[in-house]
Amino acid sequence: MFDQLQKIRQQAGELIPVVMDRQKLNEIRVRFLGKKGEVTRVLRSMGQLSPEERPRLGKKANEIRDYIENLLEQKLALILAREKEEHLQQETLDVTLPGRNIILGHRHPLTQIMNEIKEIFLGMGFEIVEGPEVELDYYNFEALNIPKDHPARDMQDSFYITPEILLRTHTSPVQARVYEARVPEIPVRIIAPGKVYRRDDDATHSPMFQQVEGFLIDRQVSLADLKGTLLAFVRQMFGPDREIRLRPSFFPFTEPSAEVDVSCIMCNGVGCRTCSHTGWLEILGSGMVHPRVLEIAGYDPEQVSGFAFGMGVERIAMLKYGIDDLRLFFENDLRFLKQF
Ligand code: PHE
């Protein structure tokens, strides 16, 4: 058996150095060290030996197993290194290939419109102020001359958090907050952009949308100032040929109140499908700040007056781009968004 082991050692020592692929190497491992391998077989037949000889043979067999394992391991490392080298040599780098395009995104169309609106009013000397989206009933309604149970609340079915706290239904509460904070300072010349929430959901109404509130308080502010400011805005936004008209309307926090229309940007006021053949498109609500609202905040309505307006940003974007479904803005479909 000692001779047998010696022979195994010699054979392995000759075979392993000449093998140069992984599969053959594995076959050699199986042949010598596998479950039915030659070294294993010798160890199994140790029972035939005398008890004195057994440990000696066991020791020898272990030595030879270690020796073979060692050889196999070194060889495997060598083979792997060679494979890697070959792989690297085959890999070529073509430095003349064109580079990969980096796709640059751009701002969401609503953000673009919002930025345009802000720029126009900043250019006219307005200041930007933001208010909370989770608002007190007091600022959203009461301070704007809309008492509890006033029918005007029905127009703006709301998301209440508690009976006194809700998601604001318009940006007008920023008026109330600013008046309260700045009284008796004049002039106040502010726009308040931001998100508002209502229980509406269809092609032209989303439960979340954006508004820009604008308001100006000073001595002797008139309806002419409101109209002039809005005309200047509309012409910068929609083009120098646009006209506007004011239609009587009602808001509890303005008196008088007016709905503002812009001459249709599709047909130039002639009449088409977009403007339902009227020549006009409604873009915002406005009016002279109600004396009651000024009074609640602490201003003296005999001394100062002001105008206010509120426009829907999505609506402006739909008119400017001729989009008929508001939901497109919120679906994040790149085929839509990439057009702007
Ligand atoms: N807050 C009103 C709305 O959301 C719009 C508005 C603002 C009207 C300011 C008049 C003055 O419908």
Residue 213 CA to ligand 1 centre (angstroms): 7
- Residue 44: band (very low, low, confident or very high) from pLDDT cuts 50, 70, 90: confident
What stretches of 52-203 show up as alpha helix (H) in DSSP? 53-90, 109-123, 137-140, 173-182
Q: Which pLDDT score, from 0 to 100, does residue 77 have?
A: 87
* Nearest by Cα to 233 from 128, 311, 149: 311
For range 33-37, the mean pLDDT: 88
- From 156, 170, 289, 315, mutation site for ligand 1 pocket: most ligand atoms within 8 A of C-beta: 170
For range 213-242, the mean pLDDT: 98
Does the beta carbon of 310 sit less than 6 angstroms from any atom of ligand 1?
yes
> CA angle, 178 as apex, 227 and 229 as ends, to 5°?
15
Least confident of 74-78, 132-136, 165-169, 195-199: 74-78
Q: Report d(CA 287, CA 250) in Å as an integer.
A: 9
Q: Report d(CA 149, CA 163) in Å as an integer.
A: 13
Give the mean pLDDT of the chain: 92
Does the beta carbon of 210 sit less than 6 angstroms from any atom of ligand 1?
no
**Over the stretch 324-334, which tens digit does the pLDDT of each residue have?**
899 999 999 99
Q: Which pLDDT score, from 0 to 100, does residue 141 have?
A: 96
Q: Is the pLDDT of residue 65 over 90?
A: no
Does the beta carbon of 254 sit less than 6 angstroms from any atom of ligand 1?
yes
Q: Is the pLDDT of residue 249 over 90?
A: yes
Task: Tell which atom from ligand 1 comes closest to the C-alpha of 172.
Answer: 1
Q: Report d(CA 249, CA 255) in Å as an integer.
A: 9
Both tokens assigned to 202: 């269809």
For range 72-76, the mean pLDDT: 88
Q: Which residue minimizes the CA distance to atom 4 of ligand 1?
A: 170
For range 73-79, the mean pLDDT: 87
Q: Which residue has the higher pLDDT, 280 or 156?
A: 280
Element at 17 (helix H, strand E): helix 2-18
For range 149-160, the mean pLDDT: 80
**Over the stretch 3-20, which tens digit does the pLDDT of each residue have?**
888 888 888 888 888 888
How remote is the C-alpha of 241 from its chain's centroid? 36
Task: Tell which atom from ligand 1 comes closest to the C-alpha of 155.
Answer: 12
Does the beta carbon of 170 sit less than 6 angstroms from any atom of ligand 1?
yes
Instruction: Say if CB 285 and CB 251 are below 8 A apart.
Output: yes
Task: Tell which atom from ligand 1 comes closest to the C-alpha of 169.
Answer: 4
Q: Which pLDDT score, from 0 to 100, does residue 76 have?
A: 87
Q: Is the pLDDT of residue 31 over 90?
A: no
For range 159-174, the mean pLDDT: 96
**Over the stretch 78-114, which tens digit does the pLDDT of each residue have?**
888 888 888 888 888 888 999 899 988 999 999 999 9
Q: Which pLDDT score, from 0 to 100, does residue 155 have?
A: 64
Provide CATH code, domain 109-337: 3.30.930.10
Does the beta carbon of 252 sit less than 6 angstroms from any atom of ligand 1?
no
Q: Which residue minimizes the CA distance to atom 7 of ligand 1?
A: 310
> CA angle, 238 as apex, 171 and 241 as ends, to 5°?
135
Both tokens assigned to 235: 């012409």
Both tokens assigned to 206: 């989303």
Q: Which pLDDT score, from 0 to 100, does residue 67 have?
A: 87
**Over the stretch 271-319, which tens digit does the pLDDT of each residue have?**
998 899 999 999 999 999 999 999 999 999 999 999 999 999 999 999 9
Does the beta carbon of 175 sit less than 6 angstroms from any atom of ligand 1?
no
Does the beta carbon of 251 sit less than 6 angstroms from any atom of ligand 1?
yes
* Every domain of the chain and the residues it spans: 2-90, 109-337
Most confident of 62-71, 169-178, 272-281: 169-178
Residue 166 CA to ligand 1 centre (angstroms): 17
Percent of the chain whose pLDDT exceeds 90: 62
Q: Which pLDDT score, from 0 to 100, does residue 252 have?
A: 96
